[in-house]
C-alpha cells in the first residue's frame, strides 16, 4: 500500500521526500554543479608559457600564429602543446580549449 501511495503522489507531482531531505539533496546538487576544477588541482601545473599557448589555442590560433605572437619557433609551440595535452589529460587542441575554459584560464 505505501509503494502504491508513493507512486500516486509522484504521479500527481508531489514530493515523497521529507522537505529537509529534499533541501539537502538540492543543496548538494547545486554545490556539485558549481564545483569547477581549478588550475591548482592539476598534478603537473602548467607553466606560464604553457598557459599563454593554451589561451591562444582556445582563441583558435594556429601554431604559426601562436609562434608569431609569442616570438617562438613553431616547433617550440608543438612541444608546448604536447606538454599541455599530457598535463591536462586530453588528446587534441579542442579538448584542451574546453579544459582551459573549465579551469577558468580563458
- For 19-50, what is each residue's pLDDT tens digit? 776 667 666 666 666 655 555 566 789 999 99
- For 2-22, what is each residue's pLDDT tens digit? 888 888 877 887 767 677 766
**Domains of the chain in sequence order:** 2-34 (no CATH), 39-102 (1.10.10.10)
Q: Are 4 and 12 in contact (CB under 8 A)?
A: no
**pLDDT greater at residue 60 or residue 25:** 60
- For 67-88, what is each residue's pLDDT tens digit? 999 999 999 999 999 999 999 9
Q: Are 16 and 9 in contact (CB under 8 A)?
A: yes
pTM (whole model) above 0.75? no
Amino acid at each position: 500500500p505505501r509503494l502504491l501511495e508513493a507512486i500516486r503522489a509522484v504521479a500527481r507531482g508531489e514530493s515523497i521526500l521529507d522537505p529537509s531531505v529534499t533541501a539537502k539533496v538540492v543543496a548538494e546538487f547545486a554545490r556539485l554543479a558549481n564545483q569547477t576544477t581549478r588550475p591548482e588541482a592539476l598534478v603537473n601545473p602548467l607553466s606560464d608559457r604553457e598557459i599563454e599557448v593554451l589561451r591562444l589555442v582556445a582563441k583558435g590560433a594556429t601554431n604559426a600564429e601562436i609562434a608569431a605572437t609569442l616570438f617562438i619557433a613553431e616547433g617550440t609551440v608543438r612541444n608546448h602543446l604536447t606538454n599541455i595535452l599530457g598535463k591536462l589529460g586530453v588528446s587534441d587542441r579542442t579538448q584542451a580549449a574546453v579544459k582551459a575554459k573549465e579551469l577558468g584560464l580563458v
